[in-house]
Structures are given as structure tokens and as C-alpha cells.
Amino acid sequence: MFRPMVLEFKPQGIYCPAGDFFIDPWSPVDRALITHGHADHAREGHNRYLATDIAAPVMRHRLGDITLDTMPYGEVREIGGARVSFHPAGHIPGSAQIRVEVGGEVWVVSGDYKTTPDRLSTPFEPVRCHSFITECTFGLPVFTWPSEEETAAEINAWWAANAATGTYSLLGAYSLGKAQRLLSLLDPAIAPILTHGAVEATNAILRGQGLHLPDTTHVTPELDPKTHPGALILAPPGVLAGNWARRFRPASTGFASGWMRLRGVRRRRSVDRGFVMSDHADWAGLNEAIKSTGAENIYPTHGYTDIFARWLSDQGYNAQPVPTEFTGEMLEEDGA
Ligand SMILES: [Zn+2]
Ligand SMILES: [Zn+2]
């Protein structure tokens, strides 16, 4: 039986010849379908963008005046000879898997995904396909996530204990996605919640889309920390060790990431507390997601591609690793 190559791997990224478009391309192209607004997926310089309606406001904020068309989850559109639709990936609000069908052959590009629900993102939905291009950021058995409730209880207990001794809690989190997910889990009864400008900008966008987040106070130069005793401060991880954070003394620092599962990474991060929480699927989630697609061809990308492809081959899949541009930086960009 003839099976058309629905998607190809080109130097610019994943390409669909039948529809003449790319998915999350790395370098400028004419037409780009974007799984979600993180910087390693939604890049500058494309002529035309297509994404979900929920992902659009953040993309406009990050990329400025772009030509951006949107589609709701589940709607089907013909692009050239391809039928295209977006399906929830459960990674951050608006994140999508992209389904492409050509001549009855179905491929799905997962983008980044998380199989367990949170309070903000549309929950992940498996999509049946013949070929599945899957991220595998945490594609090793060591990566198992505690439940969101467990992690939330741990973070709130850490914060409450700090507040009780007049200590600030500095919590590092990527400004799009992870920060808002943490916010949705914090107990505002403990003390005030303060935010770095990068986090607050994304908060404002998501609140404007109707997502509920607890009240936060933006840390401006005029803000007097003394008027916010015991506060938890949410900021991008990069600013925790710098001048910006120095006004909050004494402080305990924390970082929430899937990488906190690894002791060596916890040490290198030199934070007081590491919380295991990721916006990506863990080992069990990846395996479960792949199984539920019913796909026979699996293309692992974005992570431990070689090891994961070998594992999948042993499980009887037709698995082929796909090189990604930024594998060396993966450790720094959980949540991205
Ligand atoms: Zn990513
Ligand atoms: Zn992402």
C-alpha cells in the first residue's frame, strides 16, 4: 500500500509538502503552524503564523506585530492538500498537538505535552494516528512526577514555615506557564504573593483571557518589602541570584522543575529547596500517550531521543530519533 510521507524533517524543521507549511520551524519560513508560545517553538521571522486562539495573545505579546491566524481546538482546515487540526497538549494554556492528514494517512506532532491535568491548561487528548512525532524531554525511567496536590502541599508548607520566621520565599519559575501553574496552587491565605515583571506580564494576559489566578502584586522599584512580610516572590529563575532579589532578606530560595528529580541538578542550581513539578509528561506519561495514539511509527524529538527511540524499538514500535536544534540546552529550559 502506498503511504504518503505526510511530514518531512528539513533543516528548518518539520515540513508538510502537501500543505507547504512548517510546524514550529527554527528558521524563518513563509507559513508556520505553531504548537505553543514558548520561545523554542514560536520563533521570530515567519511570514504567516497559525496557532490556537488560546495561544495567540501570548504569542502577540512575545513576537509583536505578526500575521497570526487562529483556530480553536478540534476545527479542521484544508491547507493545500492537507487537512489540519489542533488538539489539546495539556502543557500550557493554548498548547496544541497538530494533526495532519494527507490521503488518509495521519501524522501528529505533539509539541510539548503533559498527560496529567492542571488547573489552567485544556487537558491533553490522545489523537489516533499512524505516525507520532513526540517530544521526550523526560524520556528516562527516573523521571516520575508526584501528584500536583503533593507538590502544592510541599510548596505551601515551605512558604508557611518561612513566613512564620519572617523569611521571604523566592520561588523561581519560567514566566510563561510554570509561574501561573504555581500561582494556581499557592494558598493566598499564607501571606502576600509578589511577582517579577516578566511573570506579571504573562499573568495579565492570561487573566485577560478569563483564567483565574490569585491576586498578585508586581514588584516595582518603589515597593517596600517590609510592607509585605512573609511574602512569596515568583520570579524567573535567572533573577534569583542577582541584584533584583537582594532586597528580599532573609530569604529561602526554591525552584520547581522536572529536573529537580535529579540530585546533581538540585545541587548545581544551588537553591534551598527543589520541587519536582514539570509541564512535560513523565516517563509513564510519555509511554501511555504513545500507546494511546495507536501509531506504529514514532519519531522522538526534543530530549533523550536516541535512548528513547531504542526503548520504543524494543517495545515493537518503528522508532526513529529526530535531531533537534537545541538539545544541549534542554536542561536549562524545562517549561520551555
Ligand atoms: Zn519545548
Ligand atoms: Zn513548551
From first to last of the 336 residues of the chain, give the pLDDT tens digit: 567 789 999 999 999 999 999 999 999 999 999 999 999 999 999 999 999 999 999 999 999 999 999 999 999 999 999 999 999 999 999 999 999 999 999 999 999 999 999 999 999 999 999 999 999 999 999 999 999 999 999 999 999 999 999 999 999 999 999 999 999 999 999 999 999 999 999 999 999 999 999 999 999 999 999 999 999 999 999 898 889 999 999 999 999 999 999 988 877 877 899 999 999 999 999 999 999 999 999 999 999 999 999 999 999 999 999 977 654 434 444 444
Å from CA of 264 to ligand 2 middle: 23
Å from CA of 91 to ligand 1 middle: 9
Å from CA of 100 to ligand 1 middle: 20
Q: To 10 degrees, what angle do helices 148-164 and 178-185 make?
A: 70
Q: What is the CA radius of gyration of the chain?
A: 20
d(C-alpha 103, C-alpha 258), whole Å: 39
Q: What is the pLDDT of residue 269?
A: 76
Å from CA of 302 to ligand 2 middle: 10
d(C-alpha 223, C-alpha 228), whole Å: 9
Å from CA of 2 to ligand 1 middle: 33
Å from CA of 39 to ligand 1 middle: 8
DSSP output for 105-137: EEEEE--S--SS--SSSPPP-----SEEEEEET
Residue 250 · residue 217 · CB < 8 Å? no
Å from CA of 274 to ligand 1 middle: 21
Å from CA of 26 to ligand 2 middle: 14
Q: What is the pLDDT of residue 334?
A: 45
d(C-alpha 234, C-alpha 198), whole Å: 10
Please, which residues have CB less than 5 A from ligand 1, an ion?
40, 112
From the list 37, 27, 205, 15, the residue with the least C-alpha distance to 111 is: 37
Å from CA of 25 to ligand 2 middle: 14
Task: Give the number of the ligand closest to the Cα of residue 113.
Answer: 2
CB atoms < 10 A from the CB of 246, how many? 9
